[in-house]
Structure 1
């Protein structure tokens, strides 16, 4: 651990605060069009065009995703971008039959996973205080933290992909055990869900399904 201290720490904190104030003064909220693109009018997709994902875009997608918040900056998510015929064939073994075509037709399918040993990197990711003792020898706490924060990171990935002009289609109709055996055997990584990424063929869309109203899903306390 090599955390900044003293004057250096004070300067870094002051810069972070100033940068955030500058950001909020420059952009007070996203436009309605931007919100429509990433959530309000966005759709989950099931069919894909053959338009390729440009070189470097997946790296940019991860860079944006990695900036989403996680508890103690644990960053437990791991992303496996499956795009080769060999990788797709391995992944197909895990899928329910109705999902095979959706995955095979997508340019890339991301296995959103989490590393159960994420906490071993805390000296690098959370350098100002060693919190490894909170996780060492506590597998249930590790699993809860990894799953919760890895799931959030998977959601960040989907929103970031839409923001970059990509389309997404998350899938849960598969066997986690088979994915873990095919891709992560002998490691501490566990799969969570799958997400197809590419440029959608909108002809497969159906009407948007209803959403719960505010007073059906929300309350005050």
Structure 2
């Protein structure tokens, strides 16, 4: 009998790295995350799709101790210690003015920018598509052999004021990144079965 993983083109070791064995890390080892690793992660995930190729995700890499302290001040209490100890932290946000790049990123539709310019629906479009890119980013971190600890427990408005006052970016997720440390994982939570999720008509 064919195992389900055998029906996929991607090698099982890669499947496991990205999904089955990957976990949300809560502790991290001291090993640093390099600029080259960050660049390689972005170079991989930038090819994943967004509507009209809008690419609204913006990533703030928090490295310095001073910036880390500023960020941690706006995190929920349960997220402060692990954010302080992670080798690298990324604030993932969306750019509500993403449409300014559409003339170069979606050039075959001359009116693409006008679909969103000055329109309130651009916020929903940016949130949805940047959220897709957040998922891609997490998979990119895993592809680099690193663990990701995505969090939404924080004061988003305060982070926006702290780091994005000039750009107007809107924070979606904060992700701790690094090699997992001791007792990094909570027990694996259950997953819904195929029949609970997938319906064929």
Aligned 8 A contact 2:160 2:168 in 1? no
TM-score relative to the length of structure 2: 0.92
Q: Distance in 1 between matches of 2:152 and 2:66?
A: 21
Aligned 8 A contact 1:93 1:178 in 2? no
Aligned 8 A contact 1:64 1:160 in 2? yes
Structure 2 matches for 1:172-183, cutoff 5 A?
A: 172-183=152-163
Q: Is 1:212 aligned to residue 192 of structure 2?
A: yes
Structure 2 matches for 1:28-177, cutoff 5 A?
A: 29-130=9-110, 131-139=112-120, 141-177=121-157
- Corresponding pairs, count: 193
More divergent stretch after superposition (141-150 vs 129-138)? 129-138
Unaligned residue ranges in structure 1 (runs of 5+): 1-27
> SS of the residue aligned with 2:123?
helix
User: Structure 1, residues 9-66: CA drift from partner, whole Å, max 9, x if none?
Assistant: xxxxxxxxxxxxxxxxxxx711111111101221000000001113411111111121
Q: Distance in 2 between matches of 1:106 and 1:176?
A: 20
Q: Distance in 2 between matches of 1:204 and 1:35?
A: 21
TM-score relative to the length of structure 1: 0.84
Aligned 8 A contact 1:45 1:202 in 2? no
| Runs of 4+ deviating beyond 2 Å | none
Unaligned residue ranges in structure 2 (runs of 5+): 1-7
Structure number, greater radius of gyration: 1
